[in-house]
Amino acid sequence: MRQYRRQFRIWLGAMMLLLLSQGVVLQAKTLAYEEHATEVIYNSLKSEPSKSFLKKLYKRVLFLPVWMHEKGLSPAAKDLFAVMRADETLDVHSKLYIDARAMYDEAQQLYLSPSPFLKKMEMEFRISLLYKAYVDYAYFGSINWGAFQARIANLIVNDVSTEWELHRPQVDAVGMVEKALLGVSLKKQLIDAVPTAYHYRALQKSLIHYMHLKAQGGWKRVVLRKTLKPGMRDEGVYSLRERLRITEDYAGCFGSSEDDRYDSCLQEAVKHFQARNGLTPDGVVGPATLRVLNIPVEDRVTTIRLNLDRIKWLNPRQPHRHIIISIPFFRLYFEEDGKLILTMKVITGKPNHPTPIFSDEVEMIVLNPYWNVPKSIIQKEMIPKLLRNPYALKKDNIVIFSGWGKNAKEVDPASVNWAQYRYSKKVPYRFAQLPGYKNALGKVKFLFPNRFSVYMHDTPTKPLFKRDKRAFSHGCVRLEKPMELLKTFASFEKSVELEKAQEILKGKKNVYMKLSERVPVDIIYLTAWVDYDGKLQFRDDVYHYDRMQLQSYKRW
């Protein structure tokens, strides 16, 4: 305790000199309150574990009172309560919100009449714990990442290999309080700490809007007698129109009678809704569209909250150039200074071969690539074919080499006993598909070397891009417009000469182009997102991660 008293007196002396230089008279009574509070706080926390938030917080601030000053709440306390009161994402029925309102009133009451000193110190600790809970809610979120990672590990045991890399939010709750004691506004710090990447703040506004819709009763179910097509009449048209009006998909049209006829005005609203929800925008209200229309507003609020909490744990970088691959949206976005310069459809991993969620950088572009077949595909798909017919892979231009070195020789598949490698830990052969238009990687691939062996590439399976849901790969990302991506790289990358590259692509020569400027790429999993036009988008939970994370989602 002596060392903290000594540090406190040194700090106090410095503050006195500062205040006296500014013409402020520091009252001895205030100093006595501060020192008494420091002693009580120190003694109260002696038995606390070193990892406890209270112990870490007060040790950092030399056991000074943070929230409860002698004659009233501190500026930091007023900032905290003001921020919580203004945070419209807080459910007014939640314990966190109710506790904050009650605690503010109770703290104010302590100053209206003489109150025991220890009552103020008890309130000091309670506000600290409230502050910690709010920081956890607002900046770290409600997903139990440990429980989710355990479920992911269980999937890996069951032969579904996947992973979700986390980037812990860079929010220092203790550090913000320390700065507040030195005069930096806690309110400003809390506002500045709100994420901005991945259109977080726009999605936060959408949450508030949907919470208001929920408070107003949400929307009623749409009931139709059969699939609704243009020109048809149905009593359900009235509820359909009102449903779309509530979510601002329908704004009305001049001359529309708004009766039970499914007119062109309402059709456009349905198409708008379908596009926002990843459905074919054909204007036909069939079972799939009806199912999404009837998702309750409560579920939409939960989905938005869940995705806000995911964004908090994504890589927060906002570089000059940035590639984002959204798995549920099956789409690639190429940003430059936050503005969209290229987008295209993609094909991602199947639910039993999910594309991992992680961050990396594109380092190299390969023209006329070989496809080196992963061990899992060799064992699960190719060895069974070879056991039936040793030359079954020849029609797919797949050759087998004795190893991975430069001097590895081509092997006659009939000379190998493939049964011994069906379930072995190692397969000492390299299976490679020769370059060409039939190659599984198409004519170009974009490498960001990673432990998952995932990359972006062209594909001969072009018809699959016509599907709304495109989870068909073994984990890699297939590109709808690989040549457009190549052109985009060529527009700023000196090592990529477009005309020369196009000439090479006419043949089968395998060429590597190393980039002088690496481009960050983030593979993300968001089922709710505000797009570049400011529209709220929803998508299906293709890997069931929503469901898994909601199983242990914290309620505040």
Q: So which residues are the catalytic ones?
A: 457, 476
Determine contact, residues 263/255, Cβ cutoff 8 Å: no
- Dihedral of CA atoms 90, 55, 13, 123 in degrees, nearest 10, equals 50
Tokens of 283: 């204007």
Angle at 429 between CA 424 and CA 433, to 5 degrees: 120
Residues 360, 376: Cα–Cα separation, whole Å? 23
Q: Which helix (H) or strand (E) holds 410?
A: none
Residues 499, 332: Cα–Cα separation, whole Å? 24
Residue 499, burial from CB neighbour count under 10 angstroms (0-12, 13-18, 19+): exposed
Tell me how long the chain is.
Answer: 556
Residues 482, 470: Cα–Cα separation, whole Å? 16
SS (H, E, C) 76-109: HHHHHHHHHHHCCCCCCCCHHHHHHHHHHHHHHH
Q: Are strands 331-336 and 321-326 parallel, antiparallel or unpaired?
A: antiparallel
Instruction: Indicate the SS3 state at residue 515.
Output: strand
Strand partners, 343: 333
Which residue, among 163, 120, 125, 171, has the nearest Cα to 145 in the 3D structure? Answer: 163
Question: HSE (CB half, 13 Å, CA atoms) of 510?
Answer: 9
Residues 331, 311: Cα–Cα separation, whole Å? 17
Residues 155, 353: Cα–Cα separation, whole Å? 11
Determine contact, residues 393/371, Cβ cutoff 8 Å: no
